[in-house]
Chains A and B, each alone.
Chain A
């Protein structure tokens, strides 16, 4: 139904194009700076296009720091944390949502209460403990502490509680135990929520900076954010290289997002509406 006048449409598209340009502009600038040669960026007024297309900047970045390794590390840690979070949270959430056992509600309230505690409070003691275990600068130190947050448990519990009980009751009548009910009945139905939790956890782990910064000290184990920051230390004012590195850090994320954005948006909506 065409409720909008042509005038309105023109106006609407104009506004959106302008806003869109503001959003994309900086990325374009990042890309353009990344292909300029070092001397030509320090001019005023800034030149839009490179005088010489210095594609070798990307190669320089790749040689200077093990960028591929950063990606692998971030992927590995992200997947490990996500798997851990989802599994342990799903189990615990089901216990809180459907199973009756003494102390259940008090325990859950304890979980809730910790959600408001800043990461900073927990960071220092966990660091001290990991240090005494000799686990500083290991993957274990990156992965394990991030798996156990109350958020995942909370979110899945709310979701599980919103599923009608008929299916589970039917399975119970059939003689299924709690494990089978969870596995075969509840989880398949909860796919959207689980996918959402997985996406959110992965994203949060991918971009987490403070904890890896504190715990990882060698460049081989660096994740992308701290790898990029280490690169910044090496080339503090060489903006062409810094922008080349940023481009390399950002492009794959954009590509993945653009390809999967429908699923992504659906996930967020689900997470918020149910949670």
Chain B
């Protein structure tokens, strides 16, 4: 078993040499990696992180290259992938990027925690910025006040109704019109929900609704004249009759009439795009973000229409995305120069056209460059949708609010609770959260 004499010595020698060599290698690589990051570059490097579809990336990179040309003292590193958990961790970890791509509804919670830089001084001192060119609703969604502005939106849209022309034609249903209301929507859904192979399960659904996400449900409440919060944002009012009524009607698309994609064994939220693309669902309410995806689908005949109005009025959700600068950024001025560049009319238009987004500058959205005749869908609808839109209520703890909403309404979707109970519980839990 054990060998005496030269045996162990030699093995030990070889083994030891190997281990030392390995350790030396590790150390060398370690040091190299640790120090290697510092390149001898006199330019200031700023990091920008954003989420853009693959076909917008070339435009973005081109813009960044132009920016570097115009600003030879700055170098920009682009990173992809917006993930709010990662953002949180970055803030907590003290090393966020210098420019971050944010969705409007997330801004407030980060701003209240003092994580974002107030951009208002920059905007006000910049004569060429033309803040009035932006849609008021965009600034509303940015929570702009008299002394604070944490976020510059560059694209934003209101919910529209995508619809599949082929399925409408096949069912003999006339296309959605501007004067549609909830009943029109429902009856169209009923006629467009089919069991094509007679196996007892629906194969084609009328509409793709995500039932328990608050983004979807809130506009229905508005359209019925209901409110989500009171003026001071200290109480949740979702259990008022108008709101409950709206939510009941909304839920009935699934519970009573069974015309939503939930019947297609899945599709709750995640697979809606794929279902629409494969012709399994006739209508799909969503923002402008799907224009690009759908326009690439060969053989799909579709268009957009205004979302139907509710009993009291037409009001859809407005969502935007844009740029923020973290307070922990070490290159604030350079970061602002980049933000300014990206939200200038020229850059904004190029990005919007590349990704089929709706720019936040009114002059651009209403221009001829944006309203292209060649596209099969109607840009004017996108622009008009903004006129009757409103951003989601801005509260500090938006994530917790939407988690509570989802949990309670999930129970309704799965038949375990009634809307009345769910809203009562939402109000109770959300009031607790708001009181913190």
Contact = CB atoms under 8 A, between A and B. Distances in A.
Interface of A: 39, 42-43, 64, 76, 79-80, 83-84, 87, 127, 131, 134, 136-140, 143, 167, 170, 183-185, 187-189, 191, 213-215, 217-219, 230, 233-234, 236-237
A184 B8 contact: yes
B274 A131 contact: no
A131 B2 contact: no
Interface string B283-306: 000000000000000000000000
Contacts of B11: 188
Nearest to B22: A83
B30 A80 contact: yes
10 contacts: A42-B271, A43-B278, A87-B19, A184-B9, A188-B12, A188-B15, A191-B15, A233-B82, A234-B80, A237-B273
Interface in B259-273: 270-271, 273
Contacts of A236: 270
A14 B274 CA distance: 40
Nearest to A128: B92
Contacts of A43: 278
Contact of A136 (B16, B54, B94): B94
A217 B95 contact: yes
B259 to A, nearest CB: 19
Given A87-B23, A188-B15, A217-B89, A139 B95 contact: no
A68 to B, nearest CB: 15
Contacts of B47: 218
Contact of B95 (A137, A143, A234): A137
A134 B93 CA distance: 9
A127 B93 contact: yes
Contacts of A233: 81-83, 86
Q: Is the interface on chain B under 10, 10 to 19, 20 to 34, or 35 or more residues?
A: 35 or more
B34 interface: yes
B261 to A, nearest CB: 12
Contacts of A170: 4
B293 to A, nearest CB: 11
Interface string B49-87: 001001000000000000000000000000111110010
A39 B16 contact: no
Interface of B: 2, 4, 8-9, 11-12, 15-16, 19, 22-23, 26, 29-30, 33-34, 47, 51, 54, 79-83, 86, 89-90, 92-96, 270-271, 273-275, 277-278
A39 B26 contact: no
Given A127-B93, A183-B16, A217-B89, A234 B81 contact: yes
Given A187-B15, A217-B95, 15 more contacts: A42-B274, A42-B275, A79-B22, A80-B30, A83-B26, A131-B92, A136-B93, A139-B33, A139-B34, A183-B16, A185-B12, A188-B11, A217-B89, A233-B82, A237-B271
A64 B90 CA distance: 22
Contact of A80 (B4, B26, B81): B26
Helix, strand, loop or mixed for chain A's interface?
helix
A143 B26 CA distance: 11
Contacts of B89: 213-214, 217
A137 B79 CA distance: 15
A131 B51 CA distance: 26
Contacts of A189: 2, 8
A185 B8 contact: yes
Contacts of A127: 92-93
A218 B79 contact: yes
A250 B8 CA distance: 39
A188 B92 CA distance: 46
A83 B274 CA distance: 48
A131 B94 contact: yes
A64 B95 CA distance: 24
Contacts of B94: 131, 134, 136
Given A39-B277, A138-B34, A183 B12 contact: yes
Contacts of B81: 219, 230, 233-234
B392 to A, nearest CB: 21
A181 B321 CA distance: 66
Given A83-B23, A167-B2, A237-B270, A42 B95 contact: no
Contacts of A140: 34
Contacts of B86: 217, 233
A140 B33 CA distance: 10
B93 A215 contact: yes
* Interface hub of A64, A127, A234 (most chain B Cβ within 10 A): A234
A143 B278 contact: no
Contacts of B51: 234
A42 B8 contact: no
A143 B92 CA distance: 20
A167 B7 CA distance: 13
Contact of A76 (B33, B90, B96, B278): B33
Contacts of B273: 237
A76 B22 CA distance: 12
A130 to B, nearest CB: 8
A237 B274 contact: yes
B402 to A, nearest CB: 18
A139 B30 contact: yes
A184 to B, nearest CB: 4
A2 to B, nearest CB: 34
Contacts of A184: 8-9, 12
A167 B2 CA distance: 8
B418 to A, nearest CB: 32
B298 to A, nearest CB: 9
